Structure 1
Amino acid sequence: MRPTSIRRFELVYALNIVVAVAALLWAFARLQAFMPAMPADTPAGLSRIIPVVVAVMAVVAILIKVLLWHFIARRGSDVARWIFVVLFVLAALSVARAAFFYGNEVLSAGTIPIVSLTISAIDFMLRTICLVLLFQADATAWIKGQRRPANLHDTFS
């Protein structure tokens, strides 16, 4: 049986995947709204290919999330857990870079809508919770294959 931390990770990560899908759909809708505003000298083929490239990248991103979920929560893969950690660190660096370089100028100029910031904050918070759950003692033992033996005292009493 999977430990409590892994079951909780699975639930929180499923919620994270739902948030990611919602964010991608929202971003794609904003991209579609932006497309008519492209400069007149933009090649015609480029305006048709951008949505396709964005859609393919979105599908790949969701596929990576689903594969990580499967290999961590169902297979107990330590490699997948560390891939999750690397992706988390890259996301944390991206958040730090955005806050440091863009910070107040972006917020005061209104170039990033509050919806984007809210979705990003929720996404990062859920990933942080997942990371903490993956390194709980019961999750680490389960992933490393150290299954807990049955409590023999309760069995024979």
Structure 2
Amino acid sequence: MRPRSIMLFERIYGFNILLGIASGAWAWMHWTAMLPPGMPPQVATMMPIIMASSLIGGTIINLLLLFFIARKGAEIAKWIFIVLFVVGVVGVLRGFAGSAVQLPAVTRVFAIVQIVIQAACAWLLFRPDTVPWFRGEPVPPNLRDTFS
């Protein structure tokens, strides 16, 4: 039986993936507004391909992480999730500090919400009831109801 922390992680992270797809779709519709002034035409031509590839690739990676963490209890997937979360936080902070691409307010809001959700997911992965899950052991009865 999966621990409650993992089941909650699965639901929250699944919502986060859907939010990422929505954010990517919104960015897709407004990609021309994100181009810095003086962008070479070749880059502007390739931007939709880059964005589509990023959205598809990111979604696949997130779905694989969700599967291997929530269904298989793979500890390596947990640590990959943590590393990608830290990289994402650094990227968001750099984006807010100033970069060549100025993100619209809606995209920034999506980014902040996703970082908060991912922080909650990271916290769930280190709850006491997840330790046996990632070791491949059954969850002891005293840890089954962590949130009750």
Task: Give the Å deviation of 1:117.
Answer: 1.8
Contact 2:9 2:124 in 1 (8 A): yes
Supply the distance in 2 between the matched residues of 1:86 and 1:112 (Cα, whole angstroms): 24
1:97 partnered with 2:94: yes
Aligned residue pairs, count = 140
Could you tell me which residue of structure 1 aligns to residue 84 of structure 2? Answer: 87
Cα distance change, pair 146–41 in 1 and its aligned pair in 2 (3 A): closer
Supply the distance in 2 between the matched residues of 1:57 and 1:128 (Cα, whole angstroms): 22
CA RMSD, Structure 1 to Structure 2 (Å): 2.7
Task: Compare the two structures and name the one with the higher helix fraction.
Answer: 1
3-state SS of 2:2 partner: coil
Cα distance change, pair 40–76 in 1 and its aligned pair in 2 (3 A): closer
Could you tell me which residue of structure 2 aligns to residue 70 of structure 1? Answer: 67
Could you tell me which residue of structure 1 aligns to residue 15 of structure 2? Answer: 15
- Structure 1 residue runs without a partner (length 5+): 104-110, 152-157
Cα distance change, pair 149–41 in 1 and its aligned pair in 2 (3 A): closer
1:47-84 CA-partner distances (Å, limit 9, x unpaired): 44331222112100100000000000000000000000
Supply the distance in 2 between the matched residues of 1:53 and 1:132 (Cα, whole angstroms): 32
Which amino acid is 1:120 matched to? A
Supply the distance in 2 between the matched residues of 1:96 and 1:50 (Cα, whole angstroms): 23
3-state SS of 1:97 partner: helix
TM-score when normalising by structure 1: 0.77
Could you tell me which residue of structure 2 aligns to residue 136 of structure 1? Answer: 127
Which amino acid is 1:148 matched to? V
1:29 partnered with 2:25: no
- Structure 2 residue runs without a partner (length 5+): 143-148
Cα distance change, pair 7–49 in 1 and its aligned pair in 2 (3 A): same
Q: Which has more radius of gyration?
A: 1
Supply the distance in 1 between the matched residues of 2:18 and 2:82 (Cα, whole angstroms): 20
Supply the distance in 1 between the matched residues of 2:113 and 2:134 (Cα, whole angstroms): 27
TM-score when normalising by structure 2: 0.82
Supply the distance in 2 between the matched residues of 1:84 and 1:34 (Cα, whole angstroms): 28
Task: Give the Å deviation of 1:118.
Answer: 1.2
Cα distance change, pair 29–83 in 1 and its aligned pair in 2 (3 A): same
Which amino acid is 1:27 matched to? A
Supply the distance in 2 between the matched residues of 1:135 and 1:40 (Cα, whole angstroms): 44
Task: Give the Å deviation of 1:33.
Answer: 6.1
